[in-house]
Structure 1
Amino acid sequence: MTTTSSDLYPVSRLAAVREATAAAGLDALLLTPGPDLRYVSGYDALPLERLTCLVVPTAGEPFMMVPRLELPAAEHSPASRLGVEFVAWDETDDPYAHVAHRLGSLTKVGLADRMWALQSLRFRAAMPDVEQVLAGSVLGPLRARKSPAEVAALRAAGAAIDAVHAQVPQFLKAGRTERVVGRDIAEAILAAGHVTVDFVIVGSGPNGASPHHELSDRVIQPGDAVVVDIGGTMPSGYCSDSTRVYCVGEPSPEFVKYYDVLKEAQEAACAHVRPGVTCESVDAAARDVITAAGYGEYFIHRTGHGIGLETHEDPYIVSGNTTPMEPGFAFSVEPGIYLPGRHGARIEDIMVCGETAGERLNHSTRDLVIV
């Protein structure tokens, strides 16, 4: 399926957002550069200290405050299809006061979840009697349910990162450092079609026991297990994220034993996905396998996170999240086992909940790859 900007960011989305804003009891949403603004308008605006803000009131017409020097970019972005007024402001203007004046008397507004404190505090000063809440309370549930076009974009992202994992064995050699391997992987992520490299984790040997290990100058040793967790953003704005485990030479029997448990746990969680089951039950499907095998204390994070315009967004696959799965939910399934000071492992696929079952968007082998 070929997706266009109109498919990913339909004009009809603005009306749906206004309706959801009113239903949530908010008077307006104030959306500054970031994933919330891009979701509603398609505009991937530069995050600057100068205010760019899409104002979505429940009463009255939406408008976008734009620094005059950014007006051409806004007018040539997908936001131009929305038919909203672009209000250009000059360097000596106060755009916050303009928004407050134009909105008039309000009770509660939603601020973009990624709005800078600089901007939220300026809005508070301009509207001191207005309650501020996160726009995510409105946009989170909408963004969680991916459209067919969004699923297609995530599927393309998954294929791109799979192509990178296919190249990882040629980069992993004893004697090379994690940092050098990471640089090769970053170049491959861009070559596979991503526009940005969002993260590259190469956790070798004992560093594999740190789930968010940063690249280091540790030299990869023969027999090392290596956790490779990588992701980037595609031109569509949608993200990839996938983790695989490699071993430089023959792994230890201890590592193979718990890797097999991990693979079983990840499979159980993926097989559990279908409409109506809760997010926490997907977490439990993986966690129960790992706990039964005696490794429960070494699974130290949630099983997954939503993915879309952000690598981490709703829904979160974690105990306590009783949200039922719905068709269109997209999220990672990534159980891990981490033995401090020794080694660790994680297997991660992006999944989409379909009408009757889950669909994996990553298809590279989940077997332990020996290089």
Structure 2
Amino acid sequence: MALPRSSKLEAGDDLSSVASDLDEDEEEWDPRDESSWKLPPLDITKAIQDLRQRRLPTLEVCKKILRSVIVHYAAQPNVIHVPAPEVGSRFVIVGDLHGHFGDLIHLLEDHGEPSPGPKGAVRFLFNGDFVDRGTWGPEVLLLLYALKIKFPTAVFLNRGNHEDQSQNQLPDNGFVHSHCTRAFAGEAVPMYHLCRRSFKELPLCHVIGGEVFVVHGGLPMDSIVTLADINSVDRRHDVPIKHCALMGYPKGQKVIAKKDLNGKDGGKIFKGSKGRLCERVRKSNDAICRFVAAGSQDEVVVKISGAPELEEDVDIVYSSEKERQRQRQYRIFVALLWSEAWKHFPFRPAGRAFQLSPEAAS
């Protein structure tokens, strides 16, 4: 049985408490049986040597590398705290690799092999988007994972928006239908699903020395988001982008007009009218909102800021407090991986910052 996407192991937990929750086509394995995932030090060293030459290890070793990462991160929170680098050491933060194997090898040769120190330490934080686009995504992913296994306190990994099935399945990205097929041939489907399981375990962000916040995407628009809020997100799922497709809200989100609005046909939409958000107006901060009253409907273009407390034209309506909290978690999750202002979310208001206060760090 595989580690469940819905449960989180705490440090010291017995793996026997883990229930089965297999992805489609994922081969069954039992994390309580260490032989199904644990690699001896010599085997992981050999795997790293092979991968650095762009040679895939045996299929069984590849499976164990993926499973080892799943087991490791099952016990980790969404926010990983890392000590500040010591004087004389280096902390290298690496952006999107996207399957570009040569770039990864250049970085390792230029900065040196990961080393936890204590003196002359070289630590790496790979900040998501390991796969897709570049042909060598499987080799890049497995080498990063193998380095993490060998140097757990010198290699750190953040999840990116391309560590997600919605991106992996796109033909232009190619990880599922091209790269895994090339690498694993007839075992491509179950191996991809094992990769997908590992993606869901990756943490969402790191805090270095209590001061530097490293995340793949960006910050949520919600006014106050603490590290505790981020830790409360259930990350063991595909990224819920469809729930935030309309600048932080799902299409069809219920709203109430906060003031009188002018309809597209010149009619008046009065304060208190009920409607739904329909679609974004190109790449602006505007959205089309459809109001229905007395059997007729009218469309209004409203401004959307991306968080309920920031909206000026409409109030966001939820059916329950549970739904409100769930949607807030979706916004946080998606923003941390997808908040690229020029593509998906409105620009952040000037002067807003993410602060690591003692309260936020709790």
TM-score w.r.t. length of structure 1 = 0.28
Give 1 or 2: higher strand fraction: 1
Give 1 or 2: higher helix fraction: 1
